[in-house]
């Protein structure tokens, strides 16, 4: 079986990590990281491309293309195997420790012979690291704490979990004095550590930050690092004049920052978190906001969600950045559940919530009865609900649309007959069972459902549950092509437990002209607020207002569906 693009990308990225540990030149290491990102964002399997075609992709040169071909043809990359044999396996795990980067790993290995976490802990506890420059008592204690944290942490956070940590920390920061940066600001579906940029006084704030922290990792005038629960939060202090450059730098991503630094160098300047400095004259330029810094570099401001170095910088230079969808553009929710299946809200409750949120419409999509674990509606229950929705619409400002989340069965049939589906306004079809089917079977199963004339939206297309269940095996390129062919929309499920599909596939679907539906999959009132998470994913996928189905008015929506 041919390797997936994700498997290839993981191999190429791991090669970059190994080279970095070996102390190779940074440009060579970055080439592998950039190639891995490019591979992940390819719509078609690389197995279908020749080495010459691959080498023309941004970030993949002839050298890496040849390695990918070797991997396809032989199942191995000889150089990769040689690298793995030359480096103790435990060294890569050291990179997962807070405050331990590849250069530090290289030094620990070459100077002390440390090759795994246990040996590093023993060296730190035995005070043997202090002979190395930059490793004093404080650094040793930090490493010991980091190792303990590494052994107990559960991985990356969902966005709602990150917000809880952020709310705890920012509660003590003066309003208007900070902005959250990092992967959270870029709208990623999961978040690692939290980065915050603040212009508040560190002398005033540090005691307050300590009061909400479970642990103070490091405290200073420029940066204070704390742990809230098991989560690390870094607060960087700056002044108003440097706020823009600091915020841009800490928002990232890493490849985005590298590309900007290269552009500054081409202009005879040095760029870092403190601003831009002309190399010849030494003249400094400071920036109170990011927009001024972008303009200084000769480009339009780039929204944080796009800052992944996947073409947005070139668009900003050419003034061709897309106008992205905004939360205020959303006019309704196209996937919510009531007491008809596994929701806790009645039909009239849904209409009332829609009015409170200023929505024109809400699509009621209870599960079909074929999904036994969720209760669900059979043909008779669907008709009863149709009447209930009709009655509710007589005196409510938010129009309820009659729908269903019909189960896609194992053979591609739907959980309700066409005679029932044809009476509904909009039909969402989703996979809930048989999640371990082989890729080709799952793909053909979903495509079969998309070809049903009554299916309007494909719900949570990969079935993933963040931190709990991986996506099922499916050829998303074929699914997107089928959605484009049949005119079926694809859902961006805004539940922070799902955020399905992710931005890579959103962008691919957009490029094929497939409309996206940002829906909350709400089961209770609080779930409706999750719409913002879905909007962030749509923005990361380069979607504008016209790419999103539920930015349309009610009449436009129904006309589009029909």
Q: 53-90 pLDDT, tens per residue?
A: 888 888 888 899 999 988 888 888 999 888 888 888 78
The answer to whether residues 190 and 264 belong to one domain is: no
The residue among 301, 318, 335 that closes a domain is: 318
Residues 296-307 have a mean pLDDT of: 98
371 & 489 share domain: yes
Q: Please give the residue range of the domain that contains residue 303.
A: 242-318
Q: What share of the chain is helix, strand, coil (3-state, %, to 5)?
A: 50, 15, 35
- Same domain? For 365 and 399 the reply is yes
Lowest mean pLDDT among 107-116, 198-207, 218-227, 310-319: 107-116
Q: Where is pLDDT greater, at 347 or 155? A: 347
Higher pLDDT, 254 or 300: 300
> Are residues 174 and 37 part of one domain?
no
Q: Which two tokens stand for residue 307?
A: 């800052």
CATH of the domain at 520: 3.20.20.140
Long-range contacts: 431-439, Cβ < 8 Å, 24+? 431/407, 431/463, 431/472, 432/367, 432/371, 432/374, 432/407, 432/408, 432/463, 433/371, 433/407, 433/409, 434/410, 435/463, 435/469, 435/472, 436/472, 437/410, 437/472, 437/473, 438/473, 439/473, 439/474, 439/475
Question: What's the average model confidence in pLDDT over 521-547?
Answer: 97
CA-wise closest residue to 548 among 388, 382, 324: 324
Same domain? For 66 and 107 the reply is: no
| Residues 411 and 506 placed together within one structural domain of the fold | yes
Q: Which two tokens stand for residue 287?
A: 């920036």
CB under 8 Å to 162, separation ≥6 — which residues? 184, 191, 194, 231
Please report the pLDDT score of residue 107 as a whole number. 87
pLDDT of residue 152: 57
Output the domain CATH number for residue 301: 3.30.210.10
- Asked if 227 and 194 count as a contact pair (C-beta separation under 8 A), the reply is no
Are 100 and 77 found together in one domain? no
More confident residue, 223 or 146: 223
Cis peptide bond prior to 501, omega within 30° of 0: yes
Question: Could you read off the pLDDT of 147-198 as tens digits, one per residue?
Answer: 877 765 546 889 999 999 999 999 999 999 999 999 999 999 999 899 999 9
Where among 86, 108, 130 does a domain terminate?
A: 86
Are 468 and 340 found together in one domain? yes
Given pLDDT bands bounded at 50, 70 and 90, which one contains residue 372? very low
Helix (H) or strand (E) run with residue 491 in it: strand 489-493
| DSSP structure string for 443-474 | HHHHHHHHTSTT--EE-STT--BTTTBPPPP-
- Chain segment 229-278, per-residue pLDDT in tens: 888 999 999 999 999 999 999 999 988 999 999 999 999 999 999 999 99
Which CATH number characterizes residue 29's domain? 1.10.150.110
From residue 463, alpha-carbon distances to 425, 466, 474 in Å are: 24, 10, 10
- 10 and 67 belong to one structural domain: yes
Lowest average pLDDT, out of 308-312, 441-445, 449-453, goes to 308-312
User: Does residue 251 sit in the same domain as residue 221?
Assistant: no
Q: Where residue 164 sits, what CATH number does that domain have?
A: 3.30.460.10
- The total domain count for the chain is 5
Section 4-13 average pLDDT: 86
Residues 62 and 20 in one domain: yes
- Measure CA of the first residue to CA of the last residue in the chain; give whole Å: 40
- As a whole number, mean pLDDT of residues 291-312 equals 96
Cα–Cα distance, 414 to 433 (Å, whole number): 12
Average pLDDT, the chain: 92
Across 25-34, 380-389, 494-503, least confident range: 25-34
Calculate ∠ Cα 246-540-167, nearest 5°.
55
What integer pLDDT is reported at residue 151 of this predicted model? 64
Whether residue 475 sits in one domain with residue 532: yes
Domain stop point among 114, 131, 152: 152
* Pair of tokens at residue 435: 């999640």
Share of the chain above pLDDT 90, in %: 66
């Amino acid at each position: 079986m041919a390797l997936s693009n994700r498997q290839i990308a993981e191999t190429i990225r791991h090669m970059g990590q190994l080279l970095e540990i070996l102390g190779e030149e940074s440009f060579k290491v970055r080439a592998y990281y950039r190639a891995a990102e490019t591979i992940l964002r390819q719509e078609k399997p690389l197995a279908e491309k020749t080495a010459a075609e691959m080498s023309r992709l941004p970030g993949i040169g002839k050298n890496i293309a040849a390695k990918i071909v070797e991997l396809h043809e032989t199942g191995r990359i000889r150089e990769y195997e040689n690298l793995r044999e030359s480096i103790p396996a435990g060294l890569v795990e050291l990179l997962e420790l807070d405050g331990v980067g590849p250069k530090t790993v290289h030094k620990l290995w070459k100077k002390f012979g440390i090759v795994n976490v246990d040996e590093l802990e023993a060296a730190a506890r035995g005070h043997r690291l202090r002979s190395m420059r930059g490793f004093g008592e404080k650094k040793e204690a930090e490493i010991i704490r980091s190792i303990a944290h590494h052994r107990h942490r559960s991985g990356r956070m969902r966005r709602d979990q990150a917000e809880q940590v952020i709310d705890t920390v920012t509660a003590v920061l003066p309003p208007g004095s900070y902005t959250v940066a990092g992967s959270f600001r870029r709208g990623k579906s999961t978040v690692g550590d939290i980065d915050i940029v603040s212009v508040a006084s560190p002398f005033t704030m540090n005691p307050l930050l300590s009061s909400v922290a479970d642990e103070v990792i490091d405290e200073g005038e420029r940066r204070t690092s704390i742990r809230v629960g098991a989560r690390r939060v870094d607060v960087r202090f700056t002044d108003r004049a440097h706020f823009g450059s600091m915020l841009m730098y800490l928002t990232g991503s890493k490849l985005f920052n590298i590309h900007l630094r290269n552009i500054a160098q081409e202009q005879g300047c040095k760029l870092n978190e403190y601003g831009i400095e002309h190399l010849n004259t030494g003249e400094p330029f400071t920036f109170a906001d990011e927009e001024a810094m972008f303009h200084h570099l000769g480009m339009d401001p780039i929204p944080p969600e796009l800052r992944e170095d996947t073409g947005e910088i070139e668009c900003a230079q050419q003034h061709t950045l897309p106008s992205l969808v905004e939360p205020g553009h959303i006019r309704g929710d196209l996937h919510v559940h009531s007491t008809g299946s596994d929701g806790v809200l009645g039909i009239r409750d849904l209409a009332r919530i829609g009015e409170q949120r200023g929505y024109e419409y809400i699509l009621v999509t209870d599960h079909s009865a074929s999904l036994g674990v969720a209760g669900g509606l059979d043909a008779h229950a669907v008709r009863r609900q149709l009447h209930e929705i009709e009655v509710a619409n007589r005196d409510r400002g938010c129009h309820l649309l009659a729908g269903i989340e019909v189960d896609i069965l194992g053979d591609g049939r739907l959980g309700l007959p066409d005679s029932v589906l044809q009476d509904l306004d909009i039909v969402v079809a989703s996979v809930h069972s048989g999640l371990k089917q082989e890729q080709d079977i799952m793909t053909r199963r979903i495509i079969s459902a998309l070809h049903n004339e009554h299916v309007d939206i494909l719900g949570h297309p990969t079935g993933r549950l963040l931190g709990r269940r991986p996506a099922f095996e499916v050829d998303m390129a074929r699914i997107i092509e089928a959605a484009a062919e049949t005119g079926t929309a694809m859902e961006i499920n805004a539940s922070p437990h799902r955020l399905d599909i992710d931005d890579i596939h959103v962008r691919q679907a957009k490029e094929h002209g497939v409309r996206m539906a940002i829906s909350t999959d709400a089961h209770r009132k609080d779930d409706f607020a999750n719409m913002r998470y879905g909007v962030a994913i749509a923005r990361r996928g380069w979607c504008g207002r016209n790419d999103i189905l539920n930015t349309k008015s009610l009449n436009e929506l129904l006309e589009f569906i029909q």
